[in-house]
Amino acid sequence: MAEGEQQVELKFRIYDGTDIGHNTYALSTSVATLKQRLVSEWPQDKTITPKSVNDVKLIHAGKILENNKTLADSRVTVGHLPTGVITMHVIIQPTAAKMKTVKNQDEMQNHNSCFCTIL
């Protein structure tokens, strides 16, 4: 990390309201790096755990952050928060669930077709 580089204090809130990964990060940190850290630090006592970085979605200001962007690119800014800590929300969606959802959507498109005959 370069000296004088702007940093931001982040914490990540998971599905049950627990905060993890509270630390200071450089704005040049990539979203993928944050996800890797979260997966490695994930609490072992949780029923839902990510198996890979692809299972994790980070949400900031209502937007899902992209892996290939940095915090600066994602416009994560400190602003005038009383504590100076930004909370991001973490969503876990296992790859199998994603595939099942896509498959169900494809099946629904096939089943929702309507055929009418007017005599």
Model pLDDT for residues 2-58, shown as the tens digit of each residue: 566 788 899 999 989 999 989 999 989 999 999 999 999 999 888 888 888 899 999
Q: What is the pTM (predicted TM-score) of this model?
A: 0.70
The owner of tokens 């702007």 is 6
Q: Which residues contact 34 (CB under 8 A, 6 or more apart)?
A: 10, 12, 21, 25, 58, 71
| Beta strands 7-13 and 19-26, pairing class | antiparallel
7-111 — its CATH code?
A: 3.10.20.90
d(CA 49, CA 58): 15
Q: Domain map of the chain by residue range?
A: 7-111
CA distances from 16 to 12, 35, 64 (A): 11, 18, 19
